[in-house]
Structure 1
Amino acid sequence: MKKWLLPMFMMVVLVLAACGNSEKSEEKTGKEPSAETITYQSETGPIEVPVNPQRVVVLSSYVGDLMKLGVNMVGVDSWSANNSNFAEGIKNAEIVANTDIEKILELNPDLIIGLNNIENADKLAEIAPTVLFTYGKNDYLQQHIEIGKVVNKEAEATAWVKDFKVRAADLGTKIKAKIGEDATVTVVENYEKQFYLFGDNWGRGTEILYQEMGLKMPEKVTEVALEPGYFAISQEVLGEYTGDYIILSLSKEQDSAFLNADWYNEIEAVKNGQLFEVDSKEFYFNDAMTLDYQLDFFEEKFLK
Structure 2
Amino acid sequence: YPDDVATLGGNVIGTDSWAFPNPYLSDKQKENMVDLGSPSFNIEKLIGQKPDLIVTVDKTQVSDYEKVAPTVLVNYQDLNNMDKSLDFFAKLLNREDEKKEFLKTFDKKAEEQKTKLKAEGIDTAQSSISLLELQGDKIYAYGDNFARGGQALTRGLGFQESPKMSELSKGTGYAEV
User: Is residue 75 of structure 1 aligned with residue 14 of structure 2?
Assistant: yes
1:177-198: CA deviation from partner (whole Å, max 9, x where unpaired): 4243344433211124111122
Backbone CA RMSD of aligned residues: 2.5
Q: Please give the residue correspondences for 1:2-21 in structure 2 after superposition, counting only pairs within 5 Å.
A: none
Q: CA deviation at 1:224?
A: 5.8
Instruction: Identify the residue that residue 89 of structure 1 maps to in structure 2.
Output: 29
Q: Unaligned regions of 5+ residues in structure 2, if any?
A: none
User: Is residue 197 of structure 1 aligned with residue 114 of structure 2?
Assistant: no
From 114, 117, 126, the equivalent of 1:175 is: 117
1:207-252: CA deviation from partner (whole Å, max 9, x where unpaired): 1212332223445x4476454332321xxxxxxxxxxxxxxxxxxx
Instruction: Identify the residue that residue 215 of structure 1 maps to in structure 2.
Output: 159
Distance 1:183 1:107 in 2: 46
Q: Which residue identity does 2:4 align to in structure 1? A: D
Question: Taking structure 1 as reference, are residues 135 and 224 closer, same or farther at Cα in structure 2, changes over 3 Å only?
Answer: closer
Distance 1:175 1:112 in 2: 41
Instruction: Identify the residue that residue 292 of structure 1 maps to in structure 2.
Output: none
Distance 1:77 1:217 in 2: 29
CA contact (8 A) 2:13 2:51 kept: yes
Distance 1:91 1:180 in 2: 39
Q: Unaligned regions of 5+ residues in structure 1, if any?
A: 1-61, 234-304
Distance 1:68 1:156 in 2: 8
Please tell me whether Structure 1 or Structure 2 has the larger radius of gyration of its CA atoms: 1
Following TM superposition, the consecutive aligned residue runs of length 4 or more in structure 1 with deviations greater than 6 angstroms are none
User: Is residue 104 of structure 1 aligned with residue 41 of structure 2?
Assistant: no
Secondary structure in structure 1 of the residue aligned to 2:78: coil
Number of equivalenced pairs: 170
Instruction: Identify the residue that residue 187 of structure 1 maps to in structure 2.
Output: 131
Q: CA deviation at 1:99?
A: 4.3
Give the TM-score taking structure 2 as reference length.
0.79
